[in-house]
């Protein structure tokens, strides 16, 4: 909880122009205010950013509080309309990285992409498979198997609540730290799911919004594999907590 003397700030920003802003959302922060309103003590990206910038912002998409990574806000209503239409019509390609428990599912091979498809319904706390649910489609690629851990590249084609967390659970590979979906293994902060990249190449109105073709958390020269390893190592170093504790016996 933040006391009255503290003024939380977000930054440096990943990208900012006159009409949009993209931040790296920390774990534990809400994207937008929850239904509890002022009774919810968690920090909220939208509110903090508006106070920090002194202007109104329009949220374009959301990340679960436990998830970190790229989060985009519009600075005006027209930019919000263009961006929301782009997300709705799959003109924005999102890439997440996740560390999960193993073993690798039988049908999967390292660096081979599989299409996952489910009908997901959102409950009070969890999403689950149900014939009345909405179609959820994910392209999933295991990038590496390291001991009892798997690094995944996940590209959701739909935006259902908890979609990636549910899918990894359904495939027997719960995300590290995600006790809501069956994980018993630790992760230093939140859950081991991070929004790493937004590909905006096909976004209608991209140039009008002064957006680059791609916004990424990868450093120069990094690919998803090296980026995922660096993310894990950085968190382990900063927390002093190993992501390999509580490993099952081989």
| Annotation says 24 is catalytic | no
Query: Using an 8 Å Cβ cutoff, are 128 and 224 in contact?
Result: no
In our burial notation (b when 16+ CB lie closer than 10 A, e otherwise), range 41-64 reads eebbbbebbeeeeeeebbbbbbbb
**CB neighbour list of residue 18: distance below 8 Å, 6 or more residues apart:** 75, 210
Q: Which of 64, 76, 106, 223 is catalytic?
A: 64
Name which of 188, 216, 184 is nearest 200 in CA terms: 216
**CB neighbour list of residue 183: distance below 8 Å, 6 or more residues apart:** 101, 174, 175, 176, 177, 191
Name which of 190, 188, 193, 211 is nearest 201 in CA terms: 211
Active-site residues, by number, are: 64
């Amino acid at each position: 909880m933040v006391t009255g003397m503290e003024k939380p700030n977000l930054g440096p920003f990943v990208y900012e122009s006159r009409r949009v802003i993209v931040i790296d959302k920390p774990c534990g922060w809400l994207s937008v205010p929850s239904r509890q309103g002022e009774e919810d003590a968690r920090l909220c990206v939208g509110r903090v950013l508006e106070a920090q910038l002194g202007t109104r912002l329009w949220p374009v998409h959301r990340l679960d509080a436990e998830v970190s990574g790229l989060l985009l806000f519009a600075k005006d209503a027209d930019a919000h309309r263009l961006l929301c239409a782009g997300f709705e019509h799959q003109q924005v390609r999102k890439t997440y990285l996740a560390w999960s428990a193993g073993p690798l599912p039988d049908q999967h091979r390292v660096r081979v992409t599989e299409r996952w498809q489910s009908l997901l319904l959102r409950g009070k706390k969890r999403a689950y498979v149900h014939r009345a649910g909405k179609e959820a489609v994910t392209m999933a690629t295991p990038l590496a198997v390291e001991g009892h851990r798997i690094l995944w590249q996940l590209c959701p084609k739909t935006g259902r609540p908890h979609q990636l967390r549910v899918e990894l659970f359904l495939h027997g590979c719960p995300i590290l730290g995600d006790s809501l979906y069956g994980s018993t293994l630790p992760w230093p902060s939140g859950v081991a799911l991070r929004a790493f990249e937004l590909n905006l190449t096909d976004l209608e109105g991209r140039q009008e919004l002064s957006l680059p073709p791609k916004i990424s958390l990868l450093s120069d020269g990094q690919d998803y594999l090296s980026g995922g390893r660096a993310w894990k190592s950085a968190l382990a170093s900063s927390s002093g907590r190993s992501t390999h504790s509580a490993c099952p016996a081989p």
